[in-house]
Amino acid sequence: MKHIAIDARESGTTTGRYIDKLIEYLHQLSPGLSITILTKQSRLDYMNGIAPNFKAVASPYKAFTFAEQIGLKKQLKKIDADLVHFCMVQQPVFYRGTVVSNMLDLTTVRFRNPVKNQLLFTVKQWVYIWVNKRVAKKSQAIITPTQYVKADVAEYTNIDPSKITVAYGAADPITDPAEPVPALIDKQYLMYIGRPLPHKNLWRLIEAFQLLQAQHPQLHLVLAGKKDVLYSQIESRVQAVNIKNVIFTDFVSEGQLRWLYEHCAAYTFPSLSEGFGLPGLEAMIHGAPVVSSNATCLPEVYGDAAHYFDPLDVQNMSDAINEVLTDKALRQKLITAGKQQAAKYSWQRMAEQTLAVYNKVLDQK
Average pLDDT by stretches of 10, the chain with 365 residues: 97 90 97 97 98 98 92 96 96 95 94 76 86 96 98 97 97 97 96 95 98 97 94 96 96 97 98 96 98 98 98 98 98 98 98 98 90
d(CA 208, CA 312): 11
The answer to whether residue 175 sits within a structural domain is no
* 293 contact partners, CB below 8 Å, separation of at least 6: 201, 269, 270, 271, 272, 308, 309, 310, 311
Residues 83 and 227 in one domain: no
Separation between Cα atoms, residue 288 and residue 186, nearest integer Å? 16
**272 shares its domain with 329:** yes
HSE, side-chain direction, 13 A CA sphere, residue 251: 2
Burial tier of 299 (Cβ tally within 10 Å: 0-12, 13-18, 19+): middle
Mark whether 37 and 75 lie in a shared domain: yes
Task: Tell whether 43 is covered by a domain.
Answer: yes
Say whether both 353 and 332 belong to one domain: no
Which pTM was predicted?
Answer: 0.95
Report pLDDT for 246. Answer: 98
Do 333 and 350 sit in the same domain of this protein?
A: no
Based on the fold, state whether residues 155 and 202 are members of the same structural domain: no
How far is Cα 36 from Cα 13, in angstroms, rounded to an integer?
Answer: 20
Same domain, 239 and 108: no
- Nearest CA among 235, 233, 244, 241 for reference residue 189: 244
Query: Does any domain span residue 176?
Result: no
Is 177 a member of any domain? no
Domain coverage including residue 308: 182-342
Q: Residue 14: what pLDDT? A: 81
CATH of the domain at 44: 3.40.50.2000
| 219 within some domain | yes
Are 18 and 149 in a shared domain?
yes
pLDDT score for 115: 66
Do 287 and 268 lie in a common domain? yes
Identify whether 304 is part of a domain.
yes
- The total number of structural domains in the chain stands at 2
- Same domain? 194 vs 320: yes
Residues 150 and 234 in one domain: no
Whether residue 352 is found in the same domain as residue 335: no
User: What pLDDT was estimated at residue 114?
Assistant: 76
